[in-house]
Structure 1
Amino acid sequence: MSSADEILDIVDENDEVVGQARRGDAYDRGLRHRCAFIQVRDAEGRLFVHRRTATKLVFPSLYDMFVGGVVGAGETYDEAALREAEEELGVSGLPRPDFLFKFLYDDGVAGRTWWSAVYEVRCEVPVNPQVEEVDWYGFLPEAEVGRRLGVWEWVPDGLAAYSRLRAYRGLG
């Protein structure tokens, strides 16, 4: 089964399930669904940053400071956060990511809107990211991520989550 065939819960403005659809159809028709964003830090506190592969359905070849993805039909945000983090990092036995907050992402232009649950987790084991998902990766100090914000092309939903996370932490 391709990622476009994955079944997602479709939700309303209150994050209540109103139906289900294939992932590809949800993207094509601008149907609101759920996603989990997980900020990963290594033992030294550096952020996991990666460039998405060119084959991704949404935001191909862009940089991201979160791992994560869609929440499958019937799956909880917490379940998706752990599953996505372990899959994308290529690790097992990761601690359960800590939930921080949720927000409704809406790009306002292309009909891309999804409820976004933001998490954080520390990964102290070597990572082996999925080659289907990750073209390049590194653990960068947060100051370096800040310097790259205006230089690299980032996924817009990740930028929205990162901005909200910095505000959540009182970093503006």
Structure 2
Amino acid sequence: MVGGPADAARDPADEILDVVDEHDTVVAQVPRGEVYARGLRHRCVFVEARDAEGRVFVHRRTPTKLVFPSLYDMFVGGVVGAGESYDDAALREAEEELGVTGLPRPVPLFTFLYDDGAGRSWWSAVYEVRCPRPVDPQAEEVAWHGFLTGEELASRVKRVEEWQWVPDGLAAYERLRALRARSSPSGD
């Protein structure tokens, strides 16, 4: 959440978000609950967090999440608050969800417009960060977590009957793998 301790007690649906157009230009500021209910385009960040051994942080979202409850994700992240930059949101979300402080700034990789074809769309900024210290994930956000090698993650992505993934994270993951495959034979 954006803000200080007083904001933490508020309902996430009340958080104010920037609503953006197809060019990622802010056109309004609206509470998150209304953004979701009306299917308004907004901004999100996805941060691939790797440990000291290069393994990817993977987690299952809590059943209380407003979007994609109880699904698995290979990114930490979330919505960008009103007036917040993608870069600031990436660092904030990574530290919150991993339960660590003092992370280096996540490195921006690319942005894309996610559209689920059913009226939900958001601008998505994808980042990566190394987290060499132990994590203590935020209990409100993360129901289970582990670190997986690139090969283990790729295997689990294919096992959709056991591992149901958030669709926007899966879209970001596929784009990231394609980007890495173009620059490295392993794609990892």
Which residue identity is paired with 2:111?
A: K
Aligned runs of 1:1-172 on 2, under 5 Å? 1-109=10-118, 111-151=119-159, 152-170=163-181, 171=187
- The DSSP-based 3-state class of the residue aligned with 1:162 is helix
| Cα deviation, residue 112, structure 1 | 1.1
Q: CA deviation at 1:169?
A: 1.1
Q: When the two structures are superposed, what TM-score results if normalisation uses the length of structure 2?
A: 0.90
CA deviation profile, 1:13-60 (whole Å, cap 9, x unmatched): 000000011001000100000000000000000000000000000000
Separation in structure 2 between the aligned mates of residue 53 and residue 147 of structure 1, nearest angstrom: 23
Alpha-carbon distance between aligned partners in 2 of 1:98 and 1:92, rounded to the nearest angstrom: 16
Give how far 1:150 is off: 2.4
Q: Which runs of 5 or more structure 2 residues have no equivalent in the other structure?
A: 1-9, 182-186
Instruction: Give the number of equivalent residue pairs.
Output: 171
Cα distance between partner residues in 2 of 1:92 and 1:131:
16
Structure 1 length-normalised TM: 0.98
Unaligned runs of 5+ in 1: none
Alignment root-mean-square deviation, CA: 0.9
Q: Percent identity?
A: 73
Moved over 2 A (4+): none
Q: Which structure has more RCO (C-alpha within 8 Å, separation ≥ 6)? A: 1
